A = this chain, B = another copy of it.
Amino acid sequence: MNVQPPQCLVAPLNVPSKLLMGPGPSNSPLRVHYAMMKPLLGHLHPEFTKIMDEVKDGLRYIFQTRAEVVCCVSGTGHAGMETTICNLLEPSNVILVLQNGIWGERAADMARRHDADVRIIEKGPGEVFTMGEIEAAVQQHQPAVVFAVQGESSTGALQPLEGLGHICHKHGALLAVDTVASLGGTPFFMDAWGVDVVYTGTQKVLSAPPSMAPIAFSDRAMARVKARKTPVRSFYSDILWLANYWGCDGTPRKYHHTGPISSVYALREALSMACEEGLESLWSRHRSCAQRLYSGLEELGLKPLIADPANRTPTVTTIIVPEGVEWMKVTKYFMEKYLVEISGGLGPSAGKVWRVGLMGHNCTPDNVDLVLKIMKEALAQPAIRSNL
């Protein structure tokens, strides 16, 4: 044997219990962990495909859609983004990306890799697009696809979407929306808003472990896929195969890939909890906890990056790091003293803000109060204000 077994694997797996109040993943409730204790089934056993069907129905509720093609990509949020891009776009198709943070950048990167013609309209960190601005850009670029991000977790911005589907369809474009960091925490209506493709992650408001990307395609989006002249470049992410495996196309399920069985159990449990609570309650819980956070921050003299509360996603709040404060010393204080995660900025907001997540299981008044208490304590430390 040339390579010997590593000594590091002799020690038992040791994981500290942290409270994850960053932009995700959030902690999973015990019920969701217990679901993963259930024994494995085959990926085409009838007991398992029944669970997949239940997951689909739960997702239709969360997405607020009656679309037939509702399923999961067997990969995390970015896999949902890539599935959207690679199914909707053919080489030289125009995609218009509404870019006001890192997710727009990534979608543009993926679209370029697919040889699409990428057009971008850009806004600064924390800003959102008006319907007038978007319609003007759609008129100018005549895109095949418009890509928007509902909750831009790098900046905390909440992009208004109502009416956007109508604008896109009027000009022959499809509307694709990233809701990874927002779905379940703020209203979203796939059908009523005319969204053609939407995807999310399991590890944010749904509070299951990261592992899959729930995704839905409208009939209009599926018609576009079926009319492609070139094959979808990814077999693993080909929505026609995925839709068949998930029982969405009315034909018997064929073996596509081996689904992540335990992760589907966990998502089923998370969806069951979301259905028990109800979307209205989820949305108002997120709104009121975010409001509690805003008020507490104001008392501490801290300013949100986004002035207008209507433009903030309740799931991720970005807080301007005051002058003279080293942001990383604060996040370290949270982690080292309390095992609580809050995070720094990302992409355009790096170094400028803290990001506090209030998502799903972790979105409670007690957790808001704890974050505020630690923040107050941290900012009072002389070492943290040493630059003043």
Contacts and interface: CB of A to CB of B under 8 A. Distances in A.
Contacts of A47: 15-16
A211 B77 contact: no
B40 A37 contact: no
B64 A3 contact: yes
Given A9-B272, A189-B2, A201-B258, A341 B38 contact: no
A343 to B, nearest CB: 8
Given A189-B2, A263-B263, A210 B8 contact: no
Interface in A59-99: 60-61, 64-66, 74-79, 82, 86
A61 B275 contact: no
Interface in A207-227: 209-211
Contacts of A280: 1
Contacts of A9: 54, 57-58, 268, 271-272, 275
A158 B39 CA distance: 29
Number of copies: 2
Contact of A75 (B74, B209, B210): B74
Interface residues of A, number: 96
A262 B16 CA distance: 13
A291 interface: no
Contact of A210 (B6, B201, B260): B260
A383 interface: no
Given A15-B41, A16-B41, A25-B261, 7 more contacts: A16-B47, A26-B40, A78-B256, A82-B236, A211-B262, A211-B263, A234-B234
Interface of A: 1-6, 8-10, 12-13, 15-18, 20, 22, 24-28, 33-43, 45, 47, 51, 53-54, 57-58, 60-61, 64-66, 74-79, 82, 86, 106, 109-110, 112-114, 189, 191-192, 201, 203, 209-211, 231-236, 255-263, 265-266, 268-269, 271-272, 275-276, 278-280, 341, 343, 346
